[in-house]
Amino acid sequence: MKKILVTGSLGQIGSELVMKLRDVYGASNVIATDIRETDSEVVTSGPFETLDVTDGQKLHDIAKRNEVDTIIHLAALLSATAEKNPLFAWNLNMGGLVNALEAARELNCKFFTPSSIGAFGPSTPKDNTPQDTIQRPTTMYGVNKVAGELLCDYYHQKFGVDTRGVRFPGLISYVAPPGGGTTDYAVEIYYEAIKKGTYTSYIAEGTYMDMMYMPDALQAIISLMEADPSKLVHRNAFNITAMSFEPEQIAASIRKHIPTFTMDYAVDPARQTIADSWPNSIDATAAMNEWGFKAEYDLDKMTTDMLAKLKKKLTAELVMN
């Protein structure tokens, strides 16, 4: 990767990935795009262009004009939001993906797009979910992700596009605020622990989901994109994970730092239904074997870092306001 175009650069992953890529590859070599422009560091620290990914011609033009060799396509509507507006989700998630793949095909670019544990469904084996298994998701987001996995395989097999991807678990970050995902409770809980000392979880007690701290997710993208293509058997939709926990476990981890922290429940049926359709834990052996995937953060290490970074962030916001 020498010159990289990123779509969805102001989203949960993009807002941090762009900054890391600029550190590694040079600010001028990472072209950030999003449907809106803000005054964020992503916009001010290097090249930025507004882009609606459903506009295939503009996407192609930006990639060509900047002579990129890699496209990282992150623009998408997340699980809970997509369920509220499924047709819009299909048009954005699938239309945007096809446009980005077409640009990669026409300009001979390497290509990355993330899939998700949302690609699995109720009939998927729940524990230690295999790399290759039945999927059959029951959400529009999940349907988009399965279709996207297959589409990336197709573009590799049919056109020789160097497509790569991972199935992300729930991602936890102190940088971008929660953005309409089912696993966002695991981000909100840290904010509320610091602000109020209490949290009401919309996910039920005992609901296990795979999670990952954002630094591990960012490193996974870079490691996969830098990996030797001859070693990649699967290429797209690699299972990756760092930890699996339920709400009480994250609360217990927080209490090691904030002993008075309390949590109760007001379960959201819509998001709980989505969570119940996903695996409890997934098997990441293929990613480990084919490109050396390894997560650095477990739950307690993540909690320590999240609380420290969030306290700093929230204090800075108070001073600014």
* Domain of residue 185, CATH code: 3.90.25
Residue 141: CATH number of its domain: 3.40.50.720
Asked if residue 115 and residue 83 are part of one domain, the reply reads yes
Does residue 291 fall inside a structural domain? no
Using CA atoms in the order 228, 233, 238, 241, what is the torsion angle rounded to 10 degrees?
Answer: -80
| pTM of the predicted model as reported, rounded to 2 decimal places | 0.94
Does residue 288 fall inside a structural domain? no
Asked if residue 159 and residue 85 are part of one domain, the reply reads yes
Residue range(s) defining the domain that contains residue 47? 4-169+213-239
pLDDT of residue 180: 73
Does residue 290 fall inside a structural domain? no
Of 250, 258, 255, the C-alpha closest to 207 is 250
Cα dihedral across residues 38, 43, 44, 47: positive or negative: negative
Q: What is the pLDDT of residues 78-120, one digit of tens each?
A: 888 899 999 999 999 999 999 999 999 999 999 999 999 999 9
Q: Are 32 and 44 in contact (CB under 8 A)?
A: no
Cα distance between residue 10 and residue 33, in whole Å? 8
Asked if residue 225 and residue 206 are part of one domain, the reply reads no
Asked if residue 234 and residue 108 are part of one domain, the reply reads yes
Q: Are 238 and 225 in contact (CB under 8 A)?
A: no
Asked if residue 47 and residue 27 are part of one domain, the reply reads yes
Asked if residue 181 and residue 255 are part of one domain, the reply reads yes
The length of the chain in residues reads 321
**318 token code pair:** 């108070």
Asked if residue 100 and residue 64 are part of one domain, the reply reads yes
Asked if residue 264 and residue 136 are part of one domain, the reply reads no
Asked if residue 137 and residue 34 are part of one domain, the reply reads yes
When divided into structural domains, the chain yields a total of 2
Q: What is the pLDDT of residues 278-309, one digit of tens each?
A: 999 999 999 999 999 999 999 999 999 999 99
Query: Distances in Å between the alpha carbon of 273 and those of 97, 164, 166, 203, 278?
Result: 26, 30, 24, 9, 9
Percent of the chain with pLDDT over 90: 93
Asked if residue 315 and residue 219 are part of one domain, the reply reads no
Residues taking part in catalysis: 141
pLDDT of residue 181: 80
Asked if residue 100 and residue 224 are part of one domain, the reply reads yes
Asked if residue 144 and residue 91 are part of one domain, the reply reads yes
Q: How many C-beta atoms surround the C-beta of residue 19 within 10 A? A: 21
Does residue 289 fall inside a structural domain? no
**183 token code pair:** 């696993």
